[in-house]
Homo-oligomer: A and B are copies of this chain.
Amino acid sequence: MTILRSPRTPSGATDRGIPDATVARLPVYLRALTSLADQGVASCSSHELSVAAGVNPAKLRKDLSYLGSYGTRGVGYEVEYLGYQIAREIGQTQDWEVVIVGVGNLGAALSNYQGFSTRGIRVAALVDADEKRIGQEIAGIKVSALADLPQIIDERKISIGIIATPAEAAQQVTDLLVAAGVTSILNFAPAIVHVPEGVDVRKVDLSIELQILAYHEQRKSVAPTTIQTAVSL
């Protein structure tokens, strides 16, 4: 016996809800709308918004169509209203408390990062394995011991954890977070971590981003020759 997932609804979304690619862009649209609102713009077309968000206007409209019909044909979108609808959809009407594990250079920078608070993200706790760091204050938060992690997560009902440890510690920290009840992890450590079903992991890998750019750089320096060869045939 197998549970079948309906392949795709008539609108194009699957029964999992909004497509992943769209979810990843909604925060970008929200930021663009907030910026427009700050400039005193009350309404805008899909074209204007798409320029601010750096996407194709058709893609923007398709993305917004998954949320509902919040525009007016012939006119455009009301900036504040659309912003509220997106914020509601992505859960930004509430605050999300996160714990950062590992307060080395990167962890400390994340703790001090100003961009989180306006996006509904609050760094609620800092944890480290290093004795020398425990008890220190970073961004006004006292660093706790790794052993206190379960209690912190339980008391503060934290469901999102950030891993900013060395690669060697990443899997162990992941297991601790998951055991304590965390169901979403943002992993900055350059290591693949394995999690049980139901837990989401996103990975940000600084070296890999640069390696991808380096690949394209390499191609740029050899490509002209290739094209010339093709043309001269």
Contacts and interface: CB of A to CB of B under 8 A. Distances in A.
Interface of A: 17, 23-24, 26-28, 31-32, 52-54, 89-92, 96, 98, 105-106, 108-110, 112-113, 115-116, 119-121, 159-160, 162, 183-186, 190, 192, 194, 198, 200, 202, 204-220
Contacts of A212: 23-24, 27, 202
Given A28-B208, A105-B113, A206-B110, A96 B192 contact: no
B27 A113 contact: no
18 contacts: A28-B205, A31-B190, A52-B192, A53-B192, A54-B194, A91-B214, A92-B211, A105-B108, A115-B190, A116-B207, A120-B214, A121-B207, A121-B214, A160-B210, A160-B213, A184-B214, A202-B213, A204-B206
B119 A211 contact: yes
Copies in the complex: 2
Given A52-B192, A54-B194, A204-B209, A96 B217 contact: yes
- Main secondary structure, interface of A, reads helix
- A-B pairs, top 8 by smallest CB distance, nearest first, are A91-B218, A54-B192, A109-B109, A105-B109, A184-B213, A27-B211, A119-B207, A27-B208
Given A110-B206, A160-B213, 10 more contacts: A53-B192, A90-B215, A91-B214, A92-B211, A96-B217, A115-B190, A116-B210, A160-B214, A184-B214, A186-B209
